[in-house]
Amino acid sequence: SMGETVYAAAKGGLIAFTKSLARELARYQINVNCVCPGPTDTPLFQRQPERMKQALTRAIPFRRIAQPIEIAQAVLFFLSRRSDYITGQVLSVSGGLTMAD
């Protein structure tokens, strides 16, 4: 669909940037990670056609759309001391959408 190429290029670039920057900054003990949210219940999502929202929900193994707080919690994890030994990683917060068939 329209705009998919630009989205894919931007996302791929951001992931490559995350991993490259993580390699460069690891010697300084600086972590660089990326959170990739799946469909999330935001005003933008709510403006989508109902059939598109239903199709996305069916495609997600958890059968629901993420709440913004769930994305925020993933970001907070990367900001916490619990992620001190994690760098260069991409965390998909998508209810399993990215591993679905």
Torsion over CA of 10, 42, 48 and 13, rounded to 10 degrees? 10
Residue 36: the pLDDT is 97
Fold (topology level) of 4-99: Rossmann fold (3.40.50)
Number of residues written out for the chain: 101
Residue 101: the pLDDT is 54
Are 22 and 33 within 8 A, CB to CB?
yes
Predicted TM-score of the model (pTM): 0.88
Are 94 and 71 within 8 A, CB to CB?
no
Residue 100: the pLDDT is 61
Write down the domain spans for the chain. Answer: 4-99
* 3-class SS string, 49-95: CHHHHHHHHHHCCCCCCECHHHHHHHHHHHHCHHHCCCCCCEEEECC
- Block means of pLDDT (10 residues each) for the chain, length 101 residues? 86 97 98 98 95 96 98 98 98 91 54
Q: How far is residue 29's CA from residue 87's CA, in Å, rounded to a whole number?
A: 9
Assess whether 28 carries a catalytic annotation.
no
Q: Give me the catalytic one of 5, 7, 67, 72.
A: 7
